[in-house]
Structure 1
Amino acid sequence: LAFTGITANTLGLFSSPCLTKVELRVACKGISDRDALSKPDPCVVLKMQSHGQWFEVDRTEVIRSSINPVFSKVFTVDFYFEEMQRLRFELHDISSSHNGLKEADFLGAMECTLGQIVSQRKLAKPLLKQGNAAGKSSITVMDRKEKSLSSSFVSPQDFFSKSDPFLEIFRINDDSSSSLVHRTETVMNNLNPIWKTFKVSLNTLCSGDNDRELKCIVWDWDSNGKHDFIGEFQTTFKEMRGAMDGRQVQWECINPKYQVKKKNYRNSGIVILNQCKIIKMHSFLDYIMGGCQIQFTVAIDFTASNGDPRNSCSLHYIHPYQPNEYLKALVAVGEICQDYDSDKMFPAFGFGAQIPPDFKVQVLHLQHCVYPYDVR
């Protein structure tokens, strides 16, 4: 699906020259059926807030007849540590006759900050509709910093009949579960199609483990969502790297059922990796995603150099109706840093104050006790 015609740059969302791109993957679970006769055709729309308004950034593909969709679309978002970037993920049921959101059924939404996703790596929250839980449905957003593998595949060859093939790549996790890494486009009515070159994060592909098992499945697309299994094969990123420097790597696509039943069965075709490139990107986000903890510490200057807090000319002036400049700065910085602080506790100190009973100048915990001195 295409953009709505308003790009992020024209909205003034991304103005800083210092940025890192992050990849967001989306999956939903337990979407309620609209009626007993049909399952929803879900699509997730990503929106970003700018100047108090929500603007569409991108959207996933539509997955037909699914209540637990795992979307192959990867949202690439510019990440700014110094900014509060508010995101909204909207789930819509889009019928096969149109792709417009105006006629689609709104199923629920989830709001969060990009900082929350980056710091937690995987954020799962219930979908809300008009402020209430949308049944038992939930949405999970997973983050990966962009460190890309660029690949180009040729589909299986020598099928017995023409098909509409597409390829899915799954990562096998430590607990033996599998996670969808990439789903190619469907090439209609073609035995030897060439799928488009795509990029995928190495973290997403193999969690940084070159020997991690990858499972690749080729399907024959069906409009009702019940795709026909063609064949599968196992590989690793270590094997895929053989396609670098102009070489090719190929795998036999095997259907285990045919392998047992048919004596002369060899394979259901050959999958060829034409090209593999590694694009390395390093940024400040590497530290955060590597487990670096950021702690927000506050120190207040209580010396007389700031003037009497009862005087409106002082930056420490205690205004009866609005926060002073110091409080505004603390809130602005604290809102950003809190997403990356593991315990959400902020050490708060003061210095240059005269504390009774002896009124000597000293450094103190703002709660005026040895422990705790943290403020939530």
Structure 2
Amino acid sequence: MARSRSGRRSRNSNPSPRGAPALFPGAGVSPGSSARARAEWAGGPLRLLGRWKGRGHPVVSPVIHLEEGRWRSGARGGSLWSGVGSQVHLQVGRTEVVRSSLHPVFSKVFTVDYYFEEVQRLRFEVYDTHGPSGFSCQEDDFLGGMECTLGQIVAQKKVTRPLLLKFGRNAGKSSITVIAEDISGNNGYVELSFRARKLDDKDLFSKSDPFLELYRVNDDQGLQLVYRTEVVKNNLNPVWEAFKVSLSSLCSCEETRPLKCLVWDYDSRGKHDFIGEFSTTFEEMQKAFEEGQAQWDCVNPKYKQKRRSYKNSGVVVLADLKFHRVYSFLDYIMGGCQIHFTVAIDFTASNGDPRNSCSLHYINPYQPNEYLKALVSVGEICQDYDSDKRFSALGFGARIPPKYEVSHDFAINFNPEDDECEGIQGVVEAYQNCLPRVQLYGPTNVAPIISKVARVAAAEESTGEASQYYILLILTDGVVTDMADTREAIVRASRLPMSIIIVGVGNADFTDMQVLDGDDGVLRSPRGEPVLRDIVQFVPFRELKNASPAALAKCVLAEVPKQVVEYYSHRGLPPRGLGVPAGEASPGCTP
């Protein structure tokens, strides 16, 4: 099962902007054919289907790598490994063995937590096994393996890679295909309205005072109260007020889970008189409502047992049913939403002469500087969600050739027509090549770059689709000098598909930068206009200086999934391929 995470969630918790996938090695392997493996992950369920052509008894072994390090596992039969840290590896599981098949399909399902802000490396290995299917593959013949990240599978939904032998040699023409499916369940809430007619009269001198209770039947057959309506006084044909309940509370996100409705005659002393009951499921309720037949006999089992002519103690009618879908971050990513990454680098003089080892821009061949650490940590995550792997790289605060005029918005590859670089490595190379060609100057103005990215995001907004979201990473060594303009630019950007991450490098006092991060209050423009959404995350690099790149990325990107969902929910835009806008009621059915 896949979960998306705005926080780490359990399998049955309400979905957050992140997810959990499950890995299903569901295919076999054989030279010259594609392998399928099914997988589900937390943050969003995934199914991985693998196929392999060859001889023997195949097992596919998915391996999950949560930070740095390598994974091992076995297949033609398969196993799943998980690891935290560069040397710690944990095998999570292994598929069943499919015997004597050149195109095996594995049914084993693995569940893995998915977190957008972490690089989660996976490795699938295929083995020809000769003995009982155990957890170890030491005695089996290695047929090939494939590595990828969980983010790549989430973003593409299907990843096909060749199987490689040791030392990177191709395993013939064998390949494996990994398919991802979100299994986190239906996110959202249900709006229900009940009425009844011709209920039994339980009172001597007046009519019944009915109320209705809705229960969920748990796995142990115990009843869990979901909702109790108000009491309608002195009425045998009550109309109860509509109520809302999460799908998780109603049926644990299982639409076929039994539900039970009980109708009572209210008694002020607490000795309520039982009128009747009926059983149904949310699936049945939806179907009946769509067909205009959403009514049930309210039956008292004792009366039914004693009287042959007994039919019911009234009829309960489902007057209205609306399902409000709440989409998750995984829904948008797996719907094809691309994350476009832009980095803006501070080239002001306060960084120090790049030729001096004390400079924040000093290029040490053995140790990346703080700018590079932050850039690579965040960029490595974002690149998995951008299909063309091209990233805009901008600079500000420097005098640039040929006239050496100060610019607060220039392409560090010096191509004003195309400021994009090939991959994160391309951005790193452009940054290193840029340093000797510019003169560090000032001031530290970032509003021009925010406005530039906002213009691109505004063009995307006009498409009316959840297809492109923009992340701007600003790396700076000091407090911005155009604070008023920056606040204005952020307020405007808060209405666009865009998030801003500011990383403060060096030892400057960044206290004044905290105002841009809305955690302590609502950011307002100089005119008093508030941000529509909190889109800024500020992180002083020194607080994470000794942490791993993974920890830095996790801290910096943790809010992005929530911001993505907030934007598209506010616009009422569903993930591509789903026709019901986010949060809009779908009468009687799940969108």
Note the alpha carbon deviations across 1:13-46, whole angstroms, 9 max, x for none.
Answer: x9x7475211233323423544xxx655621212
The alignment's TM-score, normalised by the length of structure 2, stands at 0.37
2:57 touches 2:128 (CA, 8 Å); kept in 1?
Answer: no
Partner residue in 2 for 1:287: 332
Matched, 1:63 2:92: no
Report which of the two structures shows the higher radius of gyration computed on alpha carbons: 2
Q: CA separation of 1:97/1:59 partners in 2, compared to 1, >3 Å: closer, same or farther?
A: closer
User: 1:149-168 maps to which residues of 2 (within 5 A)?
Assistant: none
SS at match of 2:339: coil
The match for 1:102 is: 138
SS class of match (1:89): strand
The amino acid that maps onto 2:102 is I
C-alpha contact (below 8 Å) 2:98/2:104 kept by paired residues? yes
Partner of 1:147: 184
In the alignment, the residues of structure 2 paired with residue 97 and residue 55 of structure 1 have an alpha-carbon distance, to the nearest angstrom, of 21
> What is residue 291 of structure 2 aligned with on the other side?
none
Asked if the contact 1:48–1:85 (Cα under 8 Å) also holds between the matched residues in 2, the reply is no
- The SS at the match of 2:337 is coil
CA distance in structure 1 between the aligned counterparts of 2:147 and 2:340, rounded to whole angstroms: 24
Partner AA of 1:108 in structure 2: G
Amino acid at match of 1:46: L
Specify the code of the residue in structure 1 equivalent to 2:179: M
* Correspondence for 2:160 among 113, 124, 127: 124
2:377 is the counterpart of 1:332: yes
Inter-CA distance 281–147: structure 2 relative to 1 (3 Å threshold):
farther
Say if 1:340 and 1:302 are closer, same or farther in 2 by CA, change over 3 A. Answer: same
- Counterpart-to-counterpart distance in 2, 1:110 and 1:328: 27
2:77 is the counterpart of 1:43? yes
Which residue matches 1:28?
28
Q: In structure 1, what is the equivalent of residue 393 of structure 2?
A: 348
| Cα distance between partner residues in 1 of 2:171 and 2:365 | 42
Whether contact under 8 Å (2:22, 2:111) holds in the other structure is: yes
How big is each residue's C-alpha offset from its partner over 1:116-141, in whole Å with a ceiling of 9 and x where there is no partner? 11111011112222232223322221
Structure 1 length-normalised TM: 0.57
Q: 1:326 deviation in Å?
A: 0.3
Local SS of the residue matching 2:24: strand
Tell me what 2:118 maps to: 83
Task: Give distance in 1, aligned partners of 2:380 and 2:342.
Answer: 13
1:98 & 1:344 partners in 2: Cα distance? 40
Is structure 2 residue 174 aligned with structure 1 residue 137? Answer: yes
Contact in 1 for aligned 2:28/2:104 (Cα 8 Å): yes
Partner Cα separation in structure 2 for residue 121 and residue 356 of structure 1: 44
Cα drift, residue 353 of structure 1: 1.1
Structure with a larger share of its residues in strand:
1
Q: Which digits, 9 at most, give the CA deviation of each residue in 1:311-370, with x for residues without a partner?
A: 333212233443211011111111111111121111111111112454321121112232
C-alpha contact (below 8 Å) 2:81/2:93 kept by paired residues:
yes
Between the two proteins, the alignment pairs up a number of residues equal to 242
C-alpha separation in 2, matches of 1:40 and 1:375: 42
Q: Secondary structure at the match of 1:145?
A: coil
Q: CA deviation at 1:298?
A: 1.1
User: Is contact 2:57–2:98 with CA below 8 Å preserved after alignment?
Assistant: no
Read off the aligned partner of 1:83 and give its amino acid letter.
E
Separation of aligned partners in 2, 1:291 and 1:92: 33
Separation in 2, partners of 1:357, 1:133? 48
Partner of 2:363: 318
Three-state SS of the structure 1 residue aligned to 2:410 is strand
C-alpha separation in 1, matches of 2:176 and 2:357: 49
Q: Are the counterparts in 1 of residues 93 and 110 from structure 2 also a CA contact under 8 Å?
A: yes
> Contact 1:21 / 1:77 at 8 angstroms: preserved in 2?
yes
Counterpart amino acid of 2:124? F
Structure 2 vs 1, CA of residues 282 and 74 (structure 1 numbering), >3 Å: closer, same or farther? farther
Distance between the aligned counterparts of 1:39 and 1:101, measured in 2? 13
Matched residues, percent identical?
55
Amino acid at match of 1:51: G
- Contact 2:54–2:101 (8 Å) recurs in 1: no
The equivalent residue for 2:352 is 307
Structure 1 residues 104, 352: CA separation in 2 closer, same or farther (over 3 Å shift)?
Answer: same
Q: Secondary structure of 1:310's match?
A: coil
Q: Distance in 1 between matches of 2:139 and 2:280?
A: 48
CA contact (8 A) 2:57 2:130 kept: no
Distance 1:326 1:372 in 2: 22
Aligned-residue offset at 1:243: 6.7
Point out where structure 2 has 5 or more consecutive residues left out of the alignment.
10-17, 31-51, 60-75, 187-218, 220-253, 260-278, 284-322, 423-591
Higher helix content, 1 or 2: 2
CA distance in 1, matches of 2:158, 2:24: 9
Amino acid aligned to 1:88: R
CA distance in 2: counterparts of 1:102 and 1:357, whole angstroms: 62
Summarize deviations over 1:134-189 as a string: whole Å, max 9, x none.
Answer: 2332222111122349xxxxxxxxxxxxxxxxxxxxxxxxxxxxxxxxxxxxxxxx
> Could you report, residue by residue, the CA deviation over 1:267-322 in whole angstroms, capped at 9, with x for unpaired residues?
xxxxxxxxxxx9x9853222211221101101111111222223333212233443
Contact residue 348 and residue 373 of structure 1 kept, 8 A: yes
- SS of 1:51's partner is coil
Q: Deviations over 1:50-99 (max 9, x none)?
A: 32344312222222322212222222111111111111112223345453
Q: Report if aligned partners of 1:49, 1:86 keep a CA contact under 8 Å in 2.
A: no
Relative to structure 1, is the Cα distance of residues 97 and 315 closer, same or farther in structure 2, using a 3 angstrom cutoff? closer
Determine if contact 2:77/2:133 at 8 Å carries over to the other structure: no
The alpha-carbon distance between structure 1 residues 354 and 96, as it changes in their structure 2 partners (threshold 3 A), is closer
Q: Which residue of 2 is the match for residue 366 of structure 1?
A: 412
Secondary structure of the corresponding residue to residue 80 of structure 1 = coil
